[in-house]
Each structure stands twice: as structure tokens, then as C-alpha cells.
Chain A
Amino acid sequence: MPPNTVQPPFVSIVVIVYKMADQAELTLRSLSAQYQRDVAESEYEIIVVENESSWILGQERACMTGGNVRYFLRQETQRTPVHAANFGAAQAVGSHIVIILDGARMVTPGVVRLTLDAFRIAPNAAVAVPGYHLGEKPQQIAVNEGYDEAAEAGLLERIEWPSNGYRLFEIAVFAMSSLMGFFQPNAESPFLGCSREKWNAVGGLDTRYDDLGGGKANIALYKHVLETPDTPFYLLFGEGSFHQFHGGISTNTPSGERAVIGARIREQDEALRTDRSLPHAPAILFGQLHPSAYRFLRHSLARVYPQ
């Protein structure tokens, strides 16, 4: 049990961006100290690593969102973000690292404070935020039914984002990878944190995942971190990471094309991992639950305790 006198944690949040300038800007706004509650810029940094594309966010737009943003533009020869993520983590000065592998993920206003608090409780912890998709259906499905950037912009306008970030729950559904809810193992988290020491011990993201979007690299990382011995797992169950539509590989590609890519990605994962089961790591719930998120707690309970 750490006493209060230990050095407070400092978190480096690594955000990977590729061909999603507008969405990444919203993500960075949601990570800014102006939007995040009860936290100062001096308590965390945001490391933006952008892989060069035809639609660049750029340093100016990235750094406009806060004084604690550092921006790196890289030339990437492969189609995977894993090198960018490992590069970003190597730049981190924090005691702890959070990886947002898909930069199109807006978050709720408590994620930074609670992440810092969880590491204050347990510096050896893994911290994760459940994943959601904006819209009425997971975007893998919605994309085939006409969901697009314009529809999403309308939803965000409806909840007057960013005036109350918790209203994102009103316009979202669980991501497929978080569908099991808060009480059963999930495949991954779009917002995963651990100590820099642990990050180095697991070797960061596995660079053999060289397929589109990194394939199952994030899933493999999640399992690896959560199953590392002496790793209490804090789930920020009242917070969320919300996927914006951006033409991503696994989330926003039309179904026919996605099936082909998906099979290839799965094949690679099967070749790289012998144990592909979901991580066994019972969650310690931590956080406040905004009323807009009650339905997700209901859903989570229904999966384990049908009434």
C-alpha cells in the first residue's frame, strides 16, 4: 500500500495519428486540461506521433490543443502503427505510459485524473477505459447502412459536445471489443496504461504485427500487460473512449473488403500467438458513473446476472 508521500505519477499519453486530421484534433481536445477535470497540464503530457499521409494533422493544429503536447511526424514505410507507438513511448518522460493506438478516439472528462489516481493507488497497475463507438450501432455495421462523418457530426452537435463530455454515452454503443461489459474479460482497450517499467518489460507493441492498422497488436498488448504478474487491473468503468468514423481498417471498412482483411489479420495473429484467449484479469472498478452511462452498467450486469 503506497503512502501518500511517494512521488506522484506523471503520465505520458501516446496518441497515434494517420490520415484522420479532424478526428485526431477532437481526440486531442478531449485530452486537454481544458476539457479534462481536476487535472493540470503539469501532471501529464501528450505525445502525438503522426505517420505521414495525404491528410496531415500537423504540429500547429496538434499543439494548439494544449501546452503539454509534443508532436512528431514520421515517415512510415509499413502499414502498421506499432512502430509509431513504440517510438512515441520511447519519447515519454512519464513514470507511466498510456497508449491510444487509434487517434480517432475521443474520451470522457475524467480519464486523466482517474488514471493518475489509479497509479497513485498502485504504481504497478494496468489501467483501461472501455471502448465505445459513436452512433447507434458499432461502426463495422453502421458503415454499411450509411453512417458517415456527417451523421456523426450531427450527433456530436446534438449533445453539444464538448460542453459535457459524459453525454457522449447518450450517442454511443459498446465497441465490439468491449461488448462483454465490465465484469467479463474483454479483448482490448483503446486506452491502456501501465508503468514505463512494465511497458519496457513487455517490450511494447510487437513489431511483427505489420498488417493494416497493426492487426491484432493492440489485443496482444492488452493481454500481455494484464496477465503480467503483480498487475492489479483498474477499469475506469464510468469513463469511455469513443471511436469516431474515419475510414479505419477494422471499424469503418465496408463488409466485403473487411472480411478479406480480417481473415489475413487473424491468420497473422494465429501465427504469432499460441494463447489467444481473452485475458484473465478481474477488474477493480474505479470512478464515477454518469447517469448517461447507467445503461452500460445494466448491459454489463445482464451478461453475468440475467434478471
Chain B
Amino acid sequence: MKPRLSVIVVAYDMPRQALHTLYSLSTAYQTGVSADDYEVILVENRSARVMDADAIARLSGNFRYILRDEPGVSPAAAINVAAREARADFLCLMIDGARIVTPGVVRYALEAFAITRDALVVAPGYHLGEHEQQFHATRGYTEEKEQALLEDISWKSDGYRLFEISCLSGANPRGWFHPFMECNCLFLPRRVWDDIGGADERFDLPGGGAINLALYRRAASHPDSRLFVLPGEGSFHQLHGGVTTSEIPGREELLGRILEQLNQLLGEPYRAPSLEPTLLGRVPASAFPFLGHSVERGVHRKKNCAKTGEPMYAEEFLKRRRLPPAPVSE
């Protein structure tokens, strides 16, 4: 039977973390859905540390594992390989395989697609640990400390406790009422994926550079896309020596090249798409601090927009051809 959703996970040199990610996508962990609802396609670019295929086979659910040789340093081609294998009409892109998700992401994403086939669904991004992992060495954060945190909360038995040991990622530092920069657990229709040309393989820098920002920007700018945000769900980055998400030598210089390539390939300076989010899902108590942060930042943004006369969701109004609402009072 054809699944409704194909989840694409790309991994490279992160077997332990990616196995966590896959477990979080298994039917033993996801709630309100069954194995028939979705498939998970893991594409791994070969490294000295490849994943344990038997361990993947033991997971409950509908998993496929593709191990491939990648001559370059970007995951772009791997994503496209997985997308060609995907059978469903809706895709979930997890370009960085080191992301554990919460137990409701699949259910609520499918609910959004039940409303509209044009849904673009965002599970907000977090980093495990008290601080963003770009500065892990300075802060003394290590993989061992992260494993201890995960053990402390017994995350496999209650995935919503991940909120207790995490902070917001740089993709969405100001919460749900500000434009998102990108999303590392992004659901979109295959039609939109095809329309935007899939993953742009010109993003050939380590880790794909800013390919994920470009994908998000292009999918959000698609005239039919309608943004949904899952305020009670999330994807949680594990430390794994990633190019932009850990403190590595030469990071600043590399980030400069990444930004330059992004703007060049987009043909304009990058800006986060300002779409109005429809929120969907239960919000567990552990996520209240992040919702609280979001509304405080939202209030701040509302005041700024009232001062400048700029609509909060300018691109939404352009897309939906609605007149902007009357300015709101502070």
C-alpha cells in the first residue's frame, strides 16, 4: 500500500545520532499513526563509520536504508536519491540525520495535509543542551554530556521531555510569530518539491552549505504553500561535529562562503519568508517556556511593525492577495 508520507533522512558519519533519529521516527515512538501511514528512507553517504543495518531493520515501522558513495561533500545528491525512491505524495525532509523528533510530528503533519494538500509543515528546531551547539567546545558541551542528558530524561519513553534539556536553534530563535530561517524537519507536498526542482546540487560546500535555507525559502515562496507550525513538537539537534552546528576550526570563514553561495544561487540576498503560521497540535507543559518566549517576541515584533507600518506577514498578503489588516494598536 502506498504510504501517505515519505520521510527522508540523510546521514553522514553520525551512526549513533542517526539511529536515535530513526528510533524517534519509528512506530514504537510516534503516536496516533501506524506503519502504513508513512515510510522512512535513510540515505547514508559512506564514511568510516557507517550505520548498523541490522539495528535499522529491528526498528518498528516502514524503513528503507540506502548506503551510497558520495564523491563530494554535500548531502544534496543524497536527498534527491531519496526523493526519487519516495512513494508518497507528501515528503518530510530531514537533511541533517542527527535530529531526534517528538512523538507527534508525523500525526500532526498528516493532519495538516488532511486540511490542505498545499500544507508546508514546520516542526521547530532545537538544540540539545543549554546553549546552541555552535559553541559547544567553549561551553564544555560534549557528546558524553549529551548522552547523559538524554538518559536522565528517558527520552524514548517520553519524547516530550526533550524540551526540558534543550534550547531554541538559530533557525527560529524568536519563536513562532517571527519568520523562520529554515526547518530541519520540513513537510511538503511532492508537487511543490518537483516545482522547486528538488535539492539544488550546486550547493556543493561541506554539509551542503545553506542548501536547507534555500529549500525552505523556495518551498515557502511557492504560490500554493500554506504554512503550518507545530508548537508542541520539535526536532532536536544532537552534537555530531556538523559543519555549521558545532565549533570547528575555520567556521567563520566557511560561513562567509556559505552565505555568499546562498545569495548567489538564490539571485538575491536571503530573507526569511514572512508567512502567517497556522498553529496545530497539543502543547505539552514542557514546551510552555518556548511558547511563552514566542509570544513575548511576538509582542515585541507587533510593536515594531506598528511603528514602521510594515505588516507582520507581508509575503502572506502578497500570496493570498489579501489586503493587509488595519494596523493593530499596541
Q: Do A and B come from one complex?
A: yes
Contacts A120-B115, A121-B111, A160-B326: A286 and B285 contacting too (C-beta < 8 A)? Answer: no
Q: Is A288 an interface residue (CB 8 A)?
A: yes
* B280 touches which of A160, A285, A305 (Cβ 8 Å): A285
Evaluate contact between B295 and A305: CB separation under 8 angstroms: no
Evaluate contact between B328 and A170: CB separation under 8 angstroms: yes
Contacts A160-B326, A289-B177: A297 and B295 contacting too (C-beta < 8 A)? Answer: yes
Q: Is A284 an interface residue (CB 8 A)?
A: yes
Q: Name the CB-closest residue of A to B322.
A: A37
Q: Is A67 an interface residue (CB 8 A)?
A: no
By a CB distance below 8 angstroms, the chain B residues around A289 are: 177, 279, 298
Contacts A1-B33, A183-B283, A304-B285: A285 and B231 contacting too (C-beta < 8 A)? Answer: yes
- Whole-angstrom distance between the alpha carbons of A238 and B276 in the complex? 13
- Whole-angstrom distance between the alpha carbons of A181 and B328 in the complex? 22
By a CB distance below 8 angstroms, the chain B residues around A160 are: 326
By a CB distance below 8 angstroms, the chain A residues around B296 are: 298
Evaluate contact between B115 and A117: CB separation under 8 angstroms: yes
- Whole-angstrom distance between the alpha carbons of A304 and B285 in the complex? 8
Stretch from B20-28, B216-224, B259-267, B286-294 at the A interface: B286-294
By a CB distance below 8 angstroms, the chain B residues around A288 are: 276-279
Closest chain-B Cβ to A307's Cβ sits at a distance in Å of: 6
**Contact string, B294-330, partner A, CB cutoff 8 A, digits 1/0?**
0110110010010000001000000000000110110
By a CB distance below 8 angstroms, the chain B residues around A294 are: 177, 295, 298-299, 302
Contacts A3-B4, A121-B115, A305-B289: A291 and B279 contacting too (C-beta < 8 A)? Answer: no
Q: Is B110 an interface residue (CB 8 A)?
A: yes
Contacts A121-B111, A297-B295, A304-B285: A167 and B326 contacting too (C-beta < 8 A)? Answer: yes
- Whole-angstrom distance between the alpha carbons of A305 and B285 in the complex? 8
Q: Is B180 an interface residue (CB 8 A)?
A: no
By a CB distance below 8 angstroms, the chain B residues around A167 are: 326, 328
**Contact string, B98-137, partner A, CB cutoff 8 A, digits 1/0?**
0000000001001101110100000000000000000000
Evaluate contact between B114 and A166: CB separation under 8 angstroms: no
Contacts A164-B326, A166-B325, A301-B292: A285 and B114 contacting too (C-beta < 8 A)? Answer: no
Evaluate contact between A305 and B283: CB separation under 8 angstroms: no
Q: Is A163 an interface residue (CB 8 A)?
A: yes
Q: Is B37 an interface residue (CB 8 A)?
A: yes
Closest chain-A Cβ to B143's Cβ sits at a distance in Å of: 31
By a CB distance below 8 angstroms, the chain A residues around B139 are: none
Q: Is A203 an interface residue (CB 8 A)?
A: no
By a CB distance below 8 angstroms, the chain B residues around A144 are: none
Chain B interfacial positions (CB closer than 8 Å to A): 4, 32-33, 37, 107, 110-111, 113-115, 117, 177, 231-232, 276-283, 285, 288-289, 291-292, 295-296, 298-299, 302, 305, 312, 325-326, 328-329
**Contact string, A220-249, partner B, CB cutoff 8 A, digits 1/0?**
000000000000000001100000000000
By a CB distance below 8 angstroms, the chain B residues around A122 are: 111
Contacts A164-B325, A166-B325, A291-B298: A286 and B114 contacting too (C-beta < 8 A)? Answer: no
* B288 touches which of A170, A286, A292, A304 (Cβ 8 Å): A304
- Whole-angstrom distance between the alpha carbons of A153 and B85 in the complex? 61
16 additional contacts (CB under 8 A) given A288-B277, A291-B298: A1-B107, A1-B114, A2-B114, A3-B4, A4-B113, A120-B114, A120-B115, A167-B326, A170-B328, A238-B279, A282-B282, A289-B298, A290-B325, A291-B177, A291-B312, A307-B292
**Contact string, A254-290, partner B, CB cutoff 8 A, digits 1/0?**
0000000000000000000000000000111111111
Q: Name the CB-closest residue of B to A122.
A: B111
Closest chain-A Cβ to B103's Cβ sits at a distance in Å of: 14
- Whole-angstrom distance between the alpha carbons of A183 and B285 in the complex? 9
- Whole-angstrom distance between the alpha carbons of A282 and B287 in the complex? 15
Contacts A291-B302, A298-B295, A305-B289: A1 and B37 contacting too (C-beta < 8 A)? Answer: yes
Evaluate contact between B328 and A284: CB separation under 8 angstroms: no
Q: Which 7 A-B pairs have the closest CB atoms?
A: A305-B288, A291-B302, A117-B115, A121-B111, A297-B295, A121-B114, A301-B292
Evaluate contact between B283 and A285: CB separation under 8 angstroms: yes
- Whole-angstrom distance between the alpha carbons of A160 and B111 in the complex? 35
* B281 touches which of A117, A166, A238, A285 (Cβ 8 Å): A285
Q: Name the CB-closest residue of B to A165.
A: B325
Evaluate contact between B115 and A287: CB separation under 8 angstroms: no
* CB pairs A–B below 8 angstroms (21 shown): A1-B110, A2-B114, A167-B326, A183-B285, A237-B279, A283-B282, A284-B280, A284-B281, A285-B281, A285-B282, A288-B278, A288-B279, A289-B177, A290-B328, A291-B305, A294-B298, A294-B302, A297-B291, A301-B291, A304-B285, A305-B292
- Whole-angstrom distance between the alpha carbons of A152 and B91 in the complex? 50
Q: Name the CB-closest residue of A to B108.
A: A284
- Whole-angstrom distance between the alpha carbons of A301 and B232 in the complex? 14
By a CB distance below 8 angstroms, the chain A residues around B298 are: 289, 291, 294
User: Which has the most chain A C-beta neighbours within 10 Å: B276, B278, B289, B299?
Assistant: B278
- Whole-angstrom distance between the alpha carbons of A284 and B289 in the complex? 18
- Whole-angstrom distance between the alpha carbons of A294 and B279 in the complex? 13
